[in-house]
A and B are shown apart, each in its own frame.
Chain A
Amino acid sequence: MSEVIVITSGKGGVGKTTTTANLGAGLAQLGEKVVLIDTDIGLRNLDVVMGLENRIVYHLVDVIEENCRLKQALIRDKRYPNLFLLPSAQTRDKSAVTPEQMTRLIDKLRLDFDYILLDCPAGIEQGFQNAIAGADRAFIVTTPEVSAIRDADRIIGLLDTFGMRKYDLIINRVRMDMVRRGDMMSIDDVVDILSIDLIGVIPDDEHIVVSTNQGEPVVGNGTVAGQAFSNICGRILGQDIPFLDLVGKRSFFVRFTGLLKRS
C-alpha cells in the first residue's frame, strides 16, 4: 500500500524542496521505493537540489500531455537504486496541469512505488491545489519565524477546507542557541500556536547549504540535520523515534568551543 505525501508550507524559502529531497533519499536508504514529484511548474528546483539537473529529458507536463511514457520521464538517482524523480516543466505555467490530471498520474504511480513525495510550490494558488489533490497526507514545513508560521496556519486551514485529514508539522532551521537566549520561538511555542502534531525538527545546519551546493542529500552523512531527516523517515515508516536532543548537543558544542576559545 503506497502513501502519497505532499510537502507544503505556504511561504517560500522555508525548506520544502530540501526536505522533499532528503526525505526521499532517507526513505530510499531504508529500502522503500520512492518517487519525488516536483509540482512547481515554471520554477523547477528539486532536480538541482538533488543534483539530477543534467539528466532531464521529459518532464511532468510531457507525461500529463502524453508526449512521452511515464517511465521515460522518471529519472533514476544513481546513488539510490530505489529513488526516482519526476521533474517539473520549466517553460510552462501552473495552468498546464489540473488537479484531476495530477490525481490520475499519482494513481498510476501508486502501482509501482511505496512512497510518492510531492514538492509543493509556495503560495495557495493552482499549483498548491494540484499538489495536494492526490495526496494522502501533508507535511507542513515552517521555520520559527512569524511570517512562516502565519502562512503555515493558513495552509492548515486550507488543507482542512480541501478535506485533508492527516497532516504533520516539520520545524526547520531551529537555532537552539537563539531559543535559549529568548530570541527565537521554541519548538513548543510553534507547536502550541499551530496546535498540530509534530513529526520532525531540523536544526539550522550549514551542512545543508554545503550539500545543496554539491547536489547531494544530507541524510545519512552523519550531520545533525541528516540525522533529523532520517528520524522523520523512520517516523513515516511508523517507528517510534524520540526527537533529537538539540539542547544537550548544542550546549556541549558551545561548551567545547568555549573551551577552545579560552585556551
Chain B
Amino acid sequence: MFRRWFKKKSSRTIAKDRLRVLLISDRVDCSPEMMEMMKNDIIKVISKYMEINEKEMDLHISQSVTIDKKGYSASICANVPIKTLRGKHAELSKTRAGQKPSCP
C-alpha cells in the first residue's frame, strides 16, 4: 500500500499528467521545428545584451493556472542561463542578472 503511494505513481496519475502536457501542445499546434526556430530567435535577441549558455537553454510549452485560478492555460516557458553580462549593459541589468532564471 505505502509502496504504491510513495514509490510508484498510479497509472491514473501518469495518464492524467501525460494528457495535460500532450493536450497543451495539441491545442497550441506548435511543431518541433517552429519551437526550434523560436528558440534560435530568442537566443539571437538575448545574445545582443548578454552572453548566454545556449546549450543549456530550454524552451517549452507548459500549463499554468489562469489568473482567476479556475482553469489552465498554456504558456511558453524559457529558461535561459546567463554566463556573463556584456560591457555597457552590465551595470544596467545587474539586479536582474542576479536573479536565478526560473519559470513561473
Contacts and interface: CB of A to CB of B under 8 A. Distances in A.
A211 B72 CA distance: 41
Interface string B6-26: 000011110110111011001
A97 to B, nearest CB: 29
B71 A195 contact: yes
Nearest to B9: A182
Nearest to B10: A182
A209 interface: no
Interface string B29-51: 00000000000000000000000
B23 A182 contact: no
A195 B13 CA distance: 17
A200 to B, nearest CB: 21
Given A153-B26, A157-B27, A182-B4, A193 B20 contact: yes
A14 to B, nearest CB: 15
Contact of B12 (A149, A150, A154, A189): A189
A244 interface: no
Contacts of B19: 146, 149-150, 193
A105 interface: no
A186 interface: yes
B10 A154 contact: no
Interface residues of B, number: 16
A164 interface: no
B15 A153 contact: no
B23 A193 contact: yes
B26 A150 contact: yes
Contacts of B18: 146
A153 B24 CA distance: 10
A185 interface: yes
A157 B13 CA distance: 24
Nearest to A195: B71
B23 A153 contact: yes
B11 A183 contact: yes
B86 to A, nearest CB: 43
A150 B22 contact: yes
A225 B9 CA distance: 31
Interface in A151-179: 153-154, 157, 179
A195 B12 CA distance: 18
Contact of B16 (A154, A181, A193, A195): A193
Nearest to A153: B23
Contact of A186 (B11, B12, B23): B12
Interface of B: 4, 10-13, 15-16, 18-20, 22-23, 26-27, 71-72
Interface of A: 145-146, 149-150, 153-154, 157, 179, 181-186, 189, 193, 195
17 contacts: A149-B23, A150-B22, A150-B23, A153-B26, A154-B26, A157-B26, A179-B12, A182-B4, A182-B12, A183-B10, A183-B12, A185-B12, A189-B12, A189-B15, A189-B16, A195-B71, A195-B72
For the complex of A and B, the 6 pairs showing the least CB-CB separation, nearest first, are: A182-B10, A182-B12, A153-B23, A183-B11, A189-B16, A146-B15
Given A154-B26, A184-B12, A195-B71, 14 more contacts: A145-B15, A146-B15, A149-B23, A153-B23, A153-B26, A181-B10, A182-B11, A182-B12, A183-B10, A184-B11, A185-B15, A189-B16, A193-B16, A193-B19
